[in-house]
Structure 1
Amino acid sequence: MKNRFLANLLLTFIWVALTGSFTIANILFGFILSYFVLFIITRGSGRARYFKLVPKLIGFFFYFLYQLVKANVQVAWEVGTPKLHMTPGIVGVPLDVQSDAQITLLANMITLTPGTLSLDVSEDKKVLYVYSMYITNREEFIREIKNGFEKRILEISS
């Protein structure tokens, strides 16, 4: 997988050098083009993890961006209006992620989203305690984390 990523970057830099255009759009186009060239060249080799991982990483990035914008708008609305609409609380979220890296990534994604904060992980690493400014339904909040960040982290790491 590491070799394919390096080959993808090398082909991207070759594309940029040949076109002579060092813009973000051209670099991105070169990366996508070289990704598809590598996909076609290595099709049928049985080692397709890289080609499954890249779309998942891109999807994870855009999901995080969506959650970030949504939470920023929600917190900005709270700050900008005179009446408080907060229903703060702390929820224990049962974890399906198991490794320290997965738990750390999940906790960081939650903490980076405005209005939420990862507080602690249980000793047996089965529960993540999360503070949120807006908890109207605990089960729905847990489901949102499990079907959102945690599900995508498990997809990326599998």
Structure 2
Amino acid sequence: MPFLVHLLASAGLAWSLGSAHLGGGLLAFAALYLLARLLGLAVARLRRYAQSLEHGISFCLWFIAQVFLATYHVATLVLARRVEVEPAVLAYPVTRREVDKVTLLGTLLTLTPGTLALEYDEERGLLYIHALDARRSEDVTHILTELERRLLAWLDAGKREGVSP
């Protein structure tokens, strides 16, 4: 909800200043973010909102880069003269076992070319993933760990301090 208020206030500010185009809207969004960051020194709720916004933007940019890297990797595999891949199904132990967080993680994995979330074993906390090229399974596991870490950091950024996730 605070993000929607931020977005609408940015659009209203840009429109009232006569710069109701994308650049003006982004400038107004950034100005209101800086205001929230400054006011966040005194108001904890604004500080948590600003931190959540920072983590969200950072995660989205990182994930877009990962999608492009995975697309390039799959394209090089497909266009190679000799296709040398070792597809595998990996069992990945998730950090947090809440079904909504695991579903989001699985969806993001499925959006990444070359990986597909297959099933989640709730009792053992294992997410089964199909990887197109698992010759170096530690690289696949590293990307999964980093994705989960960044996603949880974003989801937990807006929570109150002292409240365990």
Question: Normalized against structure 2, the TM-score is what?
Answer: 0.85
- Give the structure 2 partner of residue 72 of structure 1: 71
Aligned length: 155
How far off its partner does 1:44 sit? 1.4
Whole-angstrom CA distance in 2 between matches of 1:45 and 1:51? 11
Q: Are residues 85 and 21 of structure 1, via their aligned partners in 2, closer, same or farther at CA, if it must alter by over 3 Å?
A: farther
In the aligned structure 2, how far is the partner of 1:9 from the partner of 1:105? 24
Q: Which residue of 29, 32, 39 maps to 1:41?
A: 39
CA distance in 1: counterparts of 2:40 and 2:154, whole angstroms: 21
Conserved in 2, the CA contact under 8 Å of 1:117 and 1:132? yes
Query: What's the secondary structure of 1:90's corresponding residue?
Result: strand
TM alignment of 1:96-115, pairs within 5 A: 96-115=95-114
Counterpart contact for 1:97–1:150, Cα < 8 Å: no
**1:19 pairs with 2:17:** yes
Counterpart-to-counterpart distance in 2, 1:125 and 1:105: 18
CA contact (8 A) 1:117 1:131 kept: yes
SS at match of 1:43: coil
SS at match of 1:134: coil
SS at match of 1:118: strand
Shift of 1:140: 3.5
The residue identity in structure 1 corresponding to 2:43 is S
Unpaired segments ≥5 residues, structure 2: 157-165
Q: What is the alpha-carbon distance in structure 2 between the residues aligned to residue 131 and residue 7 of structure 1?
A: 40
Deviation at 1:43, TM superposition (A): 2.4
Task: Check if 1:92 corresponds to 2:67.
Answer: no
Per-residue CA deviations over 1:85-134 (Å, capped at 9, x if unaligned) read 31211100000022222101100111000011001011416000001111
Structure 2 equivalent of residue 129 of structure 1: 128
* Per-residue deviation, residues 50-98 of structure 1 (Å, max 9, x unmatched): 1110010011101110110001111111222221031211100000022
What is the CA RMSD across the aligned residues, in angstroms?
A: 1.7
Tell me if structure 2 keeps the 8 A contact 1:8–1:38.
Answer: no
Gaps of at least 5 residues in structure 1 are none
* Deviation of the 1:145 alpha carbon: 0.7
Residue range with higher mean Cα deviation, 16-25 or 83-92: 16-25
Change in Cα spacing, 1:27 to 1:51, as seen in structure 2 (3 Å) is: same
**Identity within the alignment, %:** 26
CA distance change for structure 1 residues 140 and 76 in 2, over 3 Å: closer, same or farther?
closer
- Describe the SS at the equivalent of 2:92: strand
Q: Which of residues 5, 8, 11 in structure 1 aligns to 2:6?
A: 8
1:143 and 1:153 mapped to 2: Cα distance? 14
Asked if structure 1 preserves the Cα contact closer than 8 Å seen for 2:97 and 2:122, the reply is no
- The structure-2 alpha-carbon separation of the partners of 1:125 and 1:157, relative to structure 1 and needing over 3 Å to count, comes to farther
